[in-house]
């Protein structure tokens, strides 16, 4: 009887712990280029508490169509218009972006689809999407840093953005 009671107590503690962990808000890391005094229009205490991003090796692999990362980011002129990127799998949902080009430069990036079926996904993406958009507009290409805590969304964003920008430069 004593083993049964101890077993039930341990199971109860595990369940309470699991529920508590599930509802904690994840902490996202800002890209290094945004943490140097720049802020986005959507700020939160969770995003301001972070200090690291995922490693530099990820950014080297994010160039579109295997091109180099040299002066292409500043000298590329795109055809004006709005271009929809392909739908990319972000593991917890799909990501698709639309890129607006005006005057040969990327002026806006809009999320058409993003993972939003779970409260955690909604919270993470509300924090990550403004940084991804700002990075894309600053870099004028798909060479944006992956946001720690939103890795799958960041990777899918880069894939969809690359596709949209390839349509704009064709």
Task: Kindly list the distances between the CA atom of residue 165 and the CA atoms of 25, 67, 79, 89, in Å, as whole numbers in the listed order.
Answer: 33, 13, 10, 18
Q: How far apart are CA 107 and CA 99, in angstroms?
A: 8
- Model confidence over 30-63: pLDDT tens digits? 555 554 444 443 333 333 333 333 333 333 333 3
- Model confidence over 94-109: pLDDT tens digits? 999 999 999 999 999 9
- CATH architecture, range 28-169: Alpha-Beta Complex (3.90)
pTM above 0.75, yes or no: no
Q: What is the mean pLDDT of residues 71-89?
A: 79
- Asked whether the beta carbons of 27 and 49 are under 8 A apart, the reply is yes
Q: What is the mean pLDDT of residues 17-31?
A: 63
Q: How far apart are CA 54 and CA 144, in angstroms?
A: 11
**Domain coordinates in residue numbering, the chain:** 28-169
What's the first-to-final CA gap in the chain, in angstroms? Answer: 74
| Summary mean pLDDT of the chain | 76
Residue 77: predicted pLDDT: 83
| Higher-confidence position of 159 and 32 | 159
């Amino acid at each position: 009887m004593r083993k049964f009671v101890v077993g039930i107590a341990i199971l109860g503690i595990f369940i309470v712990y699991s529920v508590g962990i599930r509802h904690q808000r994840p902490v996202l890391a800002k890209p290094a280029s945004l943490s140097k005094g720049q802020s986005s229009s959507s700020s939160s205490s969770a995003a301001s508490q972070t200090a690291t991003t995922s490693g530099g090796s990820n950014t080297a692999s994010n160039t579109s169509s295997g091109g180099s990362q040299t002066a292409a980011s500043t000298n590329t002129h795109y055809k004006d218009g709005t271009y929809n990127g392909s739908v990319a799998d972000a593991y917890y949902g799909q990501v698709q972006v639309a890129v607006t080009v005006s005057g040969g430069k990327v002026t806006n990036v809009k999320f058409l689809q993003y993972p939003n079926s779970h409260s955690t996904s909604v919270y993470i993406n509300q924090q990550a999407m403004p940084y991804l958009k700002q990075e894309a507009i600053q870099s004028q290409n798909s060479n944006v840093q992956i946001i720690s805590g939103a890795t799958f969304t960041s990777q899918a964003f880069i894939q969809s953005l690359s596709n949209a920008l390839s349509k704009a430069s064709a």
